[in-house]
Structure 1
Amino acid sequence: MINITIPEPDVTILKQKDPQLSHIYGFTDFHLITRENGGFFAFYNDKDELLFVGKARKLRQRIKKHFEDTVSVMKNHQEEVTKIEVFVNESPLERELYETYILNTRQAKYNVEKVFYK
């Protein structure tokens, strides 16, 4: 088996219980997620269980889309997300490898593509 070292997240944002500021599904720190860079991201629930892993050329736009889109695999599970980890990485190949490795080794609950552990 290959062994890939997963980097520490560049940004971690947590859902606020009762946000006083403008927010997206309880997250008030979306501005901390880069608008210009690519990378990969992970959604967790309140038990720190991995729900979903994704990759994007533009991180903030893609992450927000998971909360706004009606066709996302997360559309019925958006309220479960309490933590978002963001990893900046401009290499499309590395993003693909990290996404596939993480969602299979940590068994992401809602990913349906690239799943080899079921």
Structure 2
Amino acid sequence: MTESYYRKLLASDNSYLFFITDGGNIAGMLTVGVYKSPTGIKAWIEDVVVDDSYRGQGLGRLLVEHAISFAGSLGAGSLMLTSNPSRVAANKLYQSLNFARKETNVYRMAFEQ
């Protein structure tokens, strides 16, 4: 990520970055993307990352709980995320926080940069 891209991301009205720090070190981060649609305000959790040296301390849970509170404060009708099934611990975390697995197909189109 370039500095220019990072600055644009921070200035965006639709993206919110949340960090957990330990002194001057970033221990974890999470992004919440928000958009309006005809069916209401939607929010997505993206890029949940906890540094390897801080895993197992509940920081991922704190980040996601904060995202839930934040999305609710915006009046979002839903908060969604995706997680690879191989990420067993992450999937257990999301389920323990009352995220329900949605039975749907997710389609993705990648654009060349």
Do they superpose with TM above 0.5? no
TM-score range, shorter chain: 0.3 to 0.5
Work out which of the two has the higher radius of gyration on C-alpha atoms and give 1 or 2: 2
What TM-score, normalized by structure 1, do the two folds share? 0.32
